[in-house]
Amino acid sequence: MGSPISLGIDLGTSELKAVLLDECGTVVAHAGIRLVISRPQAGWSEQDPENWWQACLAALQQLRQSQPDAYSRVRCIGLSGQMHGAVLLDQANRVLRPAILWDDSRAIAQAQWLHQEHPEFSEITGSLPMAGLTAPKLLWIKQYEPQVFSDISCVLSPKDYLRLRLTGERVSDMSDAAGTLWLDVRKRDWFEPMVQACGLQLSQLPRLVEGSAAAAGLNAEAAGQLGLRRQLLVAGGGGDNPVSAVGIGAIDAGHGFITLGTSAAIVAITGHVAGNPASAVHSFCHALPQRWYTMGAMLAGASCLRWVTNLLGQENEQTLLQMVEAGLPQTQPVSAAVPLFLPYLAGERTPHNDPLLRGGFMNLGYDSTAATLGYAVLEGVGFGLLDAMHAVHAAGATVGACALVGGGARSNYWAQLLSNIVDREIYTLSGSELSACIGAAKLGFLAYGRGGDLLQSGMPVKERFFPMLAQQPMLQARYQQFRGLLTAAQTLHD
């Protein structure tokens, strides 16, 4: 028989990842399949849910081939995924149109309408209506694709579509449901007035479970395709940020972390709902019962570095980072002549809630180089995170030392710069790029009745970074200049 294995699946925006985790918390194997985003119009962002399923099949096939013994011992599955996406199904569970993703900004007017009509709902749902959240997207569908809207039998979040293909069941968890704007985050149940404000009925939403609860069993069709046991347990799972928190051990009030992936966020775990909707701070349900988290979110994070790398014609991000490290060593303060960068390439959430806001460089000169532009991008993302941290503090959440996870965590230079900017200890973790997968697998074990001790175990600390006092005065002055540029950026779309 052998000891049980949990399968963790994380449906990201750019990649689907999967891991096999044993009861000791060891990753036995992992696999990843790249995903493509479709942008049919400016500000639109879509994916075909069928591509998610095919990526899931391909990733699990890799695991099955590389670790056949461990794969045969899979006894539970946990799911994690990108939040706020809208997967629309008809009565036969057929997808009605491509899924509208979290960074899609077409529903700006609908979000504004929801806020104007129901301003009191934000304290209940934990967030202001924003174009990126699920609810406004449905109002857009109702207005511009009425035939699709009339055919909707159910609205699912992205990872819950994978569950549907695995089990045949329409189920979501509290953390992903919180990101729809249809959940009463205190009661951890659907908030019917907001559902109805979007022209929907409760019957069109999935059944809710906690992330660590058993949601459904693997059906015969999926079991046959995947080479797994029928009725194998699938846990509730959760959204990518809260499940990453489970993966790294950020499960109790006072824990916090910064995620620096395609988007970026600062997350503080709380034992109660600690919201600050006016500053676009989210207060959502954690993937574990009786826990919540407060989040300041940026729409563009490490993707800014990828963008400027391509813009400058550099081979890859690592090449540009090496140029930055050589040209602007952290042993000396940054020159006032170095450009400033506003990281609003996709608009911004916290604290500005402005999807039309756009980024830019300021203070360019003939002496500006690829290194100084690269540095400005790293710093600008850091300043955006500092804005988000101030808003999270205003919500009443406390943020101490922070783990740094996501692709940006690979750069020690960036980690040190973030520590200098937010004036906190920052530490990186071994294996954090798989944190959402590992968190999902841990939730799978909990649903299976095992793995409670895994919750307390985080990931090994790779390196620790502490604020460098010599850098503080110049960075504080540059942060004030950064904040002073906001008004000018906003006037460009007024």
* Residue 122 pLDDT: 93
* Residue 373 pLDDT: 98
The model's pLDDT over 374-403, given as tens digits with 9 standing for 90+, comes to: 999 999 999 999 999 999 988 888 888 999
Average pLDDT over residues 285-312: 94
Distance CA 418, CA 399 (A): 14
- Residue 212: which domain range? 5-247
Q: Residue 242: what residue type?
A: P
In this structure, is residue 141 part of a structural domain?
Answer: yes
* Residue 494 pLDDT: 66
Distance CA 217, CA 215 (A): 7
Higher pLDDT, 275 or 332: 332
In this structure, is residue 184 part of a structural domain?
Answer: yes
**Among 6, 16, 81, 83, CA closest to 53:** 16
Give the ranges where 359-485 is alpha helix by DSSP (H): 370-394, 412-422, 435-447, 472-484
Task: Tell me the pLDDT of the chain averaged across its residues.
Answer: 94
The model's pLDDT over 123-153, given as tens digits with 9 standing for 90+, comes to: 999 999 999 999 999 999 999 999 999 999 9
Instruction: Supply φ then ψ for residue 439, to 5 degrees.
Output: -60, -40
Q: Which long-range contacts (CB under 8 A, 24 or more apart) does 105-109 make?
A: 105/43, 105/44, 105/131, 105/132, 105/346, 105/347, 105/355, 105/356, 106/41, 106/43, 106/44, 106/131, 106/137, 106/140, 107/131, 107/136, 107/137, 107/139, 107/140, 108/136, 108/355, 108/356
Residue 227 has pLDDT above 80, yes or no: yes
In this structure, is residue 37 part of a structural domain?
Answer: yes
| Catalytic annotation, residues | 240
Query: Can you read off the two tokens belonging to residue 469?
Result: 């006092």
Residue 275 has pLDDT above 80, yes or no: no
The residues near 24 (Cβ < 8 Å, ≥ 6 apart) are none
SS3 349: coil
Distance CA 205, CA 83 (A): 15
Higher pLDDT, 233 or 273: 233
Distance CA 366, CA 282 (A): 42
Distance CA 240, CA 83 (A): 7
CA angle 435, 437, 440 (to 5 degrees): 105
- pLDDT class of 451 with cuts at 50, 70, 90: confident
- pLDDT class of 431 with cuts at 50, 70, 90: confident
Residue 292 has pLDDT above 70, yes or no: yes
Residue 261 has pLDDT above 90, yes or no: no
* Residue 397 pLDDT: 84
The model's pLDDT over 80-120, given as tens digits with 9 standing for 90+, comes to: 999 999 999 999 999 999 999 998 999 999 999 999 999 99
* Residue 212 pLDDT: 97
Distance CA 211, CA 242 (A): 10
**Among 453, 454, 452, 444, CA closest to 215:** 444
Query: Can you read off the two tokens belonging to residue 253?
Result: 């009030």
In this structure, is residue 317 part of a structural domain?
Answer: no
**Strands 207-209, 171-173: parallel, antiparallel or unpaired by DSSP?**
parallel
**Cβ neighbour number for residue 456 with a 10 Å cutoff:** 9
Give the ranges where 168-312 is alpha helix by DSSP (H): 174-178, 192-197, 220-226, 240-248, 302-311
The residues near 192 (Cβ < 8 Å, ≥ 6 apart) are 202
The proportion of the chain whose per-residue pLDDT surpasses 90, expressed as a percent, equals: 86
The model's pLDDT over 315-364, given as tens digits with 9 standing for 90+, comes to: 999 999 999 999 999 998 999 999 999 999 988 988 988 888 999 999 99
As annotated, the binding site for substrate includes 83-84
* Residue 355 pLDDT: 85
Contact assessment for residue 304 and residue 316, using Cβ atoms and an 8 Å cutoff: no
* Residue 453 pLDDT: 84
In this structure, is residue 418 part of a structural domain?
Answer: no
Distance CA 176, CA 375 (A): 35
Distance CA 214, CA 153 (A): 24
Q: Computed from CA positions of residues 340, 343, 347, 350, in that sequence, does the dihedral angle turn out positive or negative? A: negative
The 10 Å CB-count burial string (b at 16+, else e) for 6-17 is bbbbbbbbeebb
* Residue 403 pLDDT: 94
* Residue 312 pLDDT: 96
* Residue 1 pLDDT: 63
Which of 49-53, 101-105, 186-190, 323-327 has the weakest average pLDDT? 101-105
Task: Report how many domains make up the chain.
Answer: 1
In this structure, is residue 147 part of a structural domain?
Answer: yes
Instruction: Supply φ then ψ for residue 285, to 5 degrees.
Output: -75, 140
Distance CA 63, CA 307 (A): 32
Which of 190-194, 266-270, 279-283 has the weakest average pLDDT? 279-283
* Residue 67 pLDDT: 97
Average pLDDT over residues 64-78: 97
In this structure, is residue 159 part of a structural domain?
Answer: yes
Give the global pTM: 0.90
Q: Output the CA–CA distances (angstroms, integers) from residue 57 to 60, 82, 95, 224, 227, in the order listed.
A: 5, 18, 18, 11, 10
Query: Can you read off the two tokens belonging to residue 301?
Result: 């994070």
Query: Can you read off the two tokens belonging to residue 2?
Result: 């052998």
Contact assessment for residue 5 and residue 28, using Cβ atoms and an 8 Å cutoff: yes
Contact assessment for residue 161 and residue 87, using Cβ atoms and an 8 Å cutoff: yes
* Residue 433 pLDDT: 87
Distance CA 139, CA 87 (A): 14
In this structure, is residue 292 part of a structural domain?
Answer: no
CATH of the domain at 57: 3.30.420.40
